[in-house]
């Protein structure tokens, strides 16, 4: 199994040592300091010792503060700046306390130390953000219509979230078709989802957060296509932490799109959802009005919009709106209604349905992955800027009808209607476009998916369907939230999410 290393820590430590030392030498030994802070002691050994102590404290502080950790790499600019300033300030305050308590000092020496703090802080921050400034300038040039040809391999595909529910079903299809696949994923649920293909010679795993600009840029470089499956998925998980959802689902979609475009990516496939249709008594297609009733659905709509704004003759975003997915994959979920109620029928002998008259379009996870594959294979002129509902007309069911199908397979289970639970989604969807344009035809039925889940439960492949590893929202609630970096989105996101309140 191939993993790309993250060599930046060694380079950062080396740069920080040089930058910090250079800053102190600049302050303590250059002639112009005489004008600024007055007469300096002629004992150079004294100041060499001061520099050595400060350098040691600074590097220790940066290590203890986690500046060289993978976690720090994923922080956004504002958080990085704040932490570096705090760490360097703590270093100089600690040094100053002992220095001024135990040694006689002058105002000139105090001014030297303050100036040294300012210079070293600036140099520690400079390299970390100079590259980002150039990235932004370059992205804006491209957005204004400039395009630098970048060599890429048409067979190289980056899949974000390749270790997830859909990703673990998609990657084997890509490998079988001869693609060179890069998987960028945090693997929050372990590496079991990738066991089936982890030793394939044409797959490379990059374990990291796609919100880390360096990791993302390195992962995209040389790829012809990007399939963005990563993100917080599902209404409950997205409702758990709105700020985290905005950052992971919206801010990052725009950043990934900009960097992909800047690196010559031609086709950008975005995993969206039929949840964008919200609630309607009509049969909806890709041209129907969007009526989101959850933050999850809104985040998908905003992401589609900002990615579409990046489209030009060279960069083609494609939006894949999945129906409600069911069935087994490398990373099976039991926070989805078919899988959950099938497990409850088998284990608890009860099928509890809320909002039984509400419609949902269903699609097996392997069929969803096949839809992504067909979109990747399609001629770019047919899919550029287009949205495709992924599913089939035959698998539009009310939740009560879905419950009846499960009961027909597990007849000993009791089917119960428990009224409404606050979920207002209610939509039937047409899938003619994906059939006609991409030739998509689902292979699996809802009955097949129910039996597939039952088999896994009965043979012990899945021992406890309530385990948090099978649920996005349970994982967040049980401490998984701490595995995500706290970042700060820019503010434009809420202008898109809540336009009427941000005019």
Q: What local confidence, expressed as pLDDT, does residue 474 receive?
A: 66
**Domain interval for residue 440:** 153-332+363-396+426-465+478-501
Tell me the CATH number at 274: 3.40.50.720
The CA angle 264-270-273, to the nearest 5 degrees, is: 170
**Looking at the 3D structure of the chain, how many domains does it have?**
2
Domain boundary among 122, 143, 164: 143
Domain boundary among 95, 123, 143: 143
Looking at the fold, whether 132 and 13 belong to one and the same domain comes out as yes
Distance CA 396, CA 414 (A): 23
pLDDT in tens, 190-220: 888 888 888 899 999 998 888 888 889 999 9
277 falls within a domain: yes
Q: What is the mean pLDDT of residues 392-407?
A: 95
| pLDDT above 90 for 40 | no
197 falls within a domain: yes
Distance CA 307, CA 302 (A): 9
| Tokens representing residue 87 in the block | 């760490």
Looking at the fold, whether 85 and 171 belong to one and the same domain comes out as no
Looking at the fold, whether 170 and 119 belong to one and the same domain comes out as no
Indicate the pLDDT class of residue 30, thresholds 50, 70 and 90. low
Looking at the fold, whether 309 and 264 belong to one and the same domain comes out as yes
Distance CA 110, CA 95 (A): 11
Q: Which of 15-29, 33-47, 196-210, 391-405 has the highest mean pLDDT?
A: 391-405
Distances 330 to 198, 216, 462 between C-alpha atoms, Å: 12, 24, 12
DSSP 39: P
Looking at the fold, whether 28 and 94 belong to one and the same domain comes out as yes
| pLDDT above 80 for 32 | no
Residue 282: phi, psi to the nearest 5? -100, 165
Quick check: 88 and 126 in contact, CB under 8 A? no
Looking at the fold, whether 254 and 203 belong to one and the same domain comes out as yes
68 falls within a domain: yes
Helix, coil or strand: residue 203: strand
Indicate the pLDDT class of residue 356, thresholds 50, 70 and 90. confident
Nearest to 118 by CA among 92, 149, 140, 154: 92
pLDDT in tens, 298-325: 889 999 999 999 999 899 999 999 999 9
| Helix locations, 348-487, DSSP H | 365-377, 380-383, 399-409, 432-438, 446-458, 472-477
Q: At what angle do helices 446-458 and 399-409 cross, to 10 degrees?
A: 50
| pLDDT above 90 for 499 | no
Assessment of whether the complete model's pTM goes beyond 0.85 = no
Looking at the fold, whether 159 and 138 belong to one and the same domain comes out as no
Q: Which residue has the higher pLDDT, 90 or 132?
A: 90
Distance CA 260, CA 467 (A): 36
Helix, coil or strand: residue 52: helix
Distance CA 59, CA 41 (A): 26
| pLDDT above 60 for 133 | no
353 falls within a domain: no
Looking at the fold, whether 158 and 293 belong to one and the same domain comes out as yes
Q: What local confidence, expressed as pLDDT, does residue 384 receive?
A: 93
Looking at the fold, whether 436 and 496 belong to one and the same domain comes out as yes
pLDDT in tens, 258-286: 999 999 999 999 999 999 998 888 899 99
Spell out the residues 6+ positions from residue 251 whose beta carbon is closer than 8 angstroms to its own: 211, 487, 489, 490, 493
Q: What local confidence, expressed as pLDDT, does residue 283 receive?
A: 92
442 falls within a domain: yes
Helix, coil or strand: residue 205: strand
Domain boundary among 116, 143, 170: 143
349 falls within a domain: no
The average confidence (pLDDT) of the chain is 82
Looking at the fold, whether 188 and 127 belong to one and the same domain comes out as no
Q: Which residue has the higher pLDDT, 474 or 63?
A: 63
148 falls within a domain: no
Looking at the fold, whether 197 and 236 belong to one and the same domain comes out as yes
206 falls within a domain: yes
Looking at the fold, whether 81 and 170 belong to one and the same domain comes out as no
């Amino acid at each position: 199994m191939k993993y790309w290393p993250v060599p930046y820590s060694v380079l950062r430590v080396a740069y920080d040592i040089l930058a910090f030392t250079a800053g102190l030498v600049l302050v303590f030994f250059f002639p112009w300091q005489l004008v600024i802070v007055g007469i300096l002691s002629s004992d150079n050994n004294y100041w060499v010792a001061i520099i050595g102590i400060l350098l040691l404290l600074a590097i220790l502080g940066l290590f203890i503060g986690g500046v060289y950790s993978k976690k720090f790499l994923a922080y956004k600019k504002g958080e990085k700046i704040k932490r570096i300033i705090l760490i360097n300030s703590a270093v100089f305050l600690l040094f100053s306390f002992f220095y001024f308590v135990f040694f006689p000092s002058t105002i000139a020496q105090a001014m030297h130390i303050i100036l040294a703090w300012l210079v070293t802080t600036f140099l520690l921050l400079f390299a970390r953000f100079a590259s980002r400034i150039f990235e932004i300038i370059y992205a804006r040039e491209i957005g204004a219509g400039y395009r630098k040809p970048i060599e890429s391999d048409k067979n190289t595909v980056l899949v974000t979230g390749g270790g997830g529910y859909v990703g673990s079903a998609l990657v084997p299809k890509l490998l079988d078709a001869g693609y060179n696949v890069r998987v960028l994923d945090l693997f929050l649920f372990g590496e079991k989802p990738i066991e089936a293909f982890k030793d394939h010679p044409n797959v490379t795993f990059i374990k990291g957060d796609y919100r880390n600009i360096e990791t993302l840029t390195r992962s995209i470089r040389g790829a012809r296509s990007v399939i963005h499956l990563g993100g917080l998925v599902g209404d409950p998980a997205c409702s758990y932490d709105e700020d985290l959802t905005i950052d992971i689902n919206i801010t990052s979609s725009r950043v990934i799109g900009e960097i992909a475009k800047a690196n010559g990516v031609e086709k950008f496939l975005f995993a969206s959802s039929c949840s964008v249709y919200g609630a309607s008594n009509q049969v909806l297609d890709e041209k129907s009005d969007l009526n989101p009733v959850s933050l999850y659905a809104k985040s998908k709509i905003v992401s589609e919009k900002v990615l579409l704004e990046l489209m030009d003759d060279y960069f083609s975003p494609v939006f894949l709106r999945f129906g409600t997915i069911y069935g087994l994959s490398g990373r099976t979920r039991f926070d989805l209604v078919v899988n959950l109620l099938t497990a409850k029928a088998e284990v608890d002998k009860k099928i509890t349905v809320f909002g039984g008259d509400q419609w949902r379009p269903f699609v097996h996870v392997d069929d969803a992955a096949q839809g992504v594959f067909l979109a990747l294979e399609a001629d770019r002129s047919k899919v550029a800027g287009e949205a495709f509902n992924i599913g089939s007309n035959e698998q539009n069911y009310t939740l009560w009808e879905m419950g009846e199908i499960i009961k027909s397979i597990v007849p000993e289970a009791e089917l119960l209607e428990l009224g409404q639970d606050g979920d207002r989604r209610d939509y039937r969807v047409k899938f003619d476009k994906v059939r006609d344009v991409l030739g998509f035809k689902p292979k699996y039925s809802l009955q097949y998916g129910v039996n597939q889940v039952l088999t896994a439960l009965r043979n012990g492949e899945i021992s406890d369907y309530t385990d948090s590893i099978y649920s996005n929202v349970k994982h967040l609630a049980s401490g998984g939230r701490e595995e995500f970096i706290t970042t700060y989105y820019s503010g434009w996101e809420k202008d898109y999410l809540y336009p009427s309140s941000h005019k």
